[in-house]
């Protein structure tokens, strides 16, 4: 008996470009920047004073009781809101579904760092609180987001969080794919959530020289493939996708957005923050995803690249693309949507998976915005979808995510029309 096929039947997101999937897709197509000055804390001591934030987020609008808020970190609130959208979009009726075979697997790189920061600063000498909150641990730990979602819907299938820096949500989706393929579950809510616009996150990434410090031009500071790029722009939010066994989805007449064709995972085994300069790590994981999906390089139409707007990362990734795709590199469309929504760390892969699925269903490749200056190390014969969206058929899309520690992941999505 072969592996079962897996499809996407529901989408949900809260991110800097939209608090609904429709709003997110519209702003992607229009090339909107989500960067704003940080107002949640004093940035006067930081080199970076901006981020891509979720504005005017009201958890109550997404079914989260206001009395619960003091027990739930912002990252988990994002996850619960995105999951509620995805469940509603999927049309799943859990009263008619075996909940023992429905799981929740999400990725998060740093989980409830906002709550941890607040408690430590409040408790420290001269602070404002006499003791730690009894909810600190449950707000802080990364696995609480899928736990809360499973409790809300009574979902008793596989439930956990993957943590692999910026590859976290892609690893979560890869796990979800394989568990359904192997018959361990029929449906899994998967994706990621992150709320890293905090004092230690901005301070720490500034200290490691990873963040852009282009405060004078913060709206355009995320500029992948541009010669003047100087680091990534922090983002926050969540995306949740409903992965479902294909026959299970067909039996209930579900709308199918895409098939999850394959996943690749690998390690650079090189450096804690820098990628392999020759792009061989990126090349290896893309090849693994294609092999897992039963696809050839020439089958691919679009790659949503990791493209963080860092001097080393952008060059290395494109070298990897050239290694895998050869001359077909010049027939591909490539873009980094981080130029718009910023880098959501552990949630990046999930938010960008939605962009891939949108490209498949709309025949619109979202742009890489903010490009002005050519870098002599980059081959611009490759279509990097610079500044404007491109209309083209997308039957196969790859999504690359790479994390500190050398973690690599690549997901392959295909149009439902490719394989009947």
Q: Vertex 329, ends 211 and 374: CA angle to 5°?
A: 45
* Chain position carrying tokens 């740093």: 110
CB 81 within 8 A of CB 14: yes
Residue 153's CB is within 10 A of a number of other CB atoms, namely: 18
How many Å apart are CA 248 and CA 245, to the nearest integer? 5
Which of these is catalytic: 248, 306, 341, 407?
306
8-state DSSP, 254: -
The answer to whether residue 306 is catalytic is yes
How many Å apart are CA 306 and CA 33, to the nearest integer? 17
Which of 78, 76, 67, 74 has its CA nearest to residue 40? 74
Q: Vertex 308, ends 307 and 309: CA angle to 5°?
A: 95
CB 146 within 8 A of CB 114: no
Token digits for 285? 């994981």
The answer to whether residue 166 is catalytic is yes
According to DSSP H, which parts of 243-325 are helical?
246-251, 280-293, 311-325
Query: Which residues in 30-173 belong to E strands, given as ranges?
Result: 35-37, 50-52, 102-107, 159-162
The answer to whether residue 343 is catalytic is yes
Contacts of 240 by beta carbon, 8 Å cutoff, 6+ apart: 10, 11, 12, 13, 79, 82, 83, 85, 86, 106, 189, 190, 191, 350
Which of these is catalytic: 52, 166, 356, 410?
166
Residue 189's CB is within 10 A of a number of other CB atoms, namely: 31
Residue 62's CB is within 10 A of a number of other CB atoms, namely: 18
Which of these is catalytic: 341, 343, 358, 407?
343
In the three-class reduction of DSSP (H, G, I as helix; E, B as strand; rest coil), residue 274 is classed as coil
* Chain position carrying tokens 């029309």: 417
How many Å apart are CA 263 and CA 409, to the nearest integer? 7
Catalytic positions, written as ranges: 166, 306, 343
């Amino acid at each position: 008996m072969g592996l079962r096929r897996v499809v996407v039947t529901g989408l949900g997101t809260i991110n800097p470009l939209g608090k609904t999937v429709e709003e997110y897709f519209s702003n992607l197509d229009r090339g909107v920047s989500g960067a704003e000055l940080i107002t949640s804390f004093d940035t006067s001591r930081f080199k970076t004073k901006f981020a891509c934030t979720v504005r005017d987020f009201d958890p109550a609008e997404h079914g989260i009781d206001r009395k619960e808020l003091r027990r739930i970190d912002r990252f988990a609130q994002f996850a619960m809101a995105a999951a509620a959208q995805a469940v509603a979009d999927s049309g799943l009726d859990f009263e008619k579904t075996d909940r023992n075979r429905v799981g929740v697997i999400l990725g998060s790189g740093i989980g409830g760092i906002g709550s941890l920061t607040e408690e430590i600063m409040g408790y420290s000498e001269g602070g404002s609180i006499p003791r730690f909150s009894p909810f600190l641990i449950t707000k802080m730990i990364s696995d609480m987001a899928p736990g809360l979602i499973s409790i809300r819907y009574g979902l008793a299938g596989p439930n956990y969080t993957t943590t692999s820096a910026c590859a976290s949500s892609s690893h979560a989706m890869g796990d979800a794919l394989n568990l359904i393929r192997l018959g361990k579950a029929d449906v899994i809510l998967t994706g990621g959530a992150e709320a890293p616009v905090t004092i230690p996150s901005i301070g720490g990434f500034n200290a490691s020289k990873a963040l852009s410090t282009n405060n004078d031009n913060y709206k355009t500071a995320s500029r992948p493939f541009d010669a003047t790029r100087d680091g990534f722009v922090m983002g926050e939010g969540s995306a949740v996708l409903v992965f479902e066994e294909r026959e299970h989805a067909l039996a209930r007449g579900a709308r199918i957005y895409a098939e999850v064709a394959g996943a690749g995972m690998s390690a650079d085994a090189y450096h804690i923050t820098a990628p392999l300069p020759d792009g061989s790590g990126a090349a290896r994981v893309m090849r693994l995803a294609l092999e897992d999906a039963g696809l050839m390089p020439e089958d691919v139409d679009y790659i949503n690249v990791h493209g963080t707007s860092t001097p080393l990362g952008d060059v290395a990734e494109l070298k990897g693309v050239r290694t895998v795709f050869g001359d077909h590199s010049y027939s591909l469309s490539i873009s980094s949507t981080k130029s718009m929504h910023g880098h959501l760390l552990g949630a990046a892969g999930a938010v960008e998976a939605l962009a891939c699925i949108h490209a498949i269903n709309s025949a619109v490749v979202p742009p890489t915005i903010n490009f002005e200056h050519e870098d002599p190390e980059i081959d611009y014969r490759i279509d990097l979808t610079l500044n404007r969206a491109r209309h083209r058929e997308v039957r196969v899309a790859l999504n690359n995510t790479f994390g500190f520690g050398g973690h690599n992941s690549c997901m392959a999505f295909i149009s439902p029309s490719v394989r009947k």
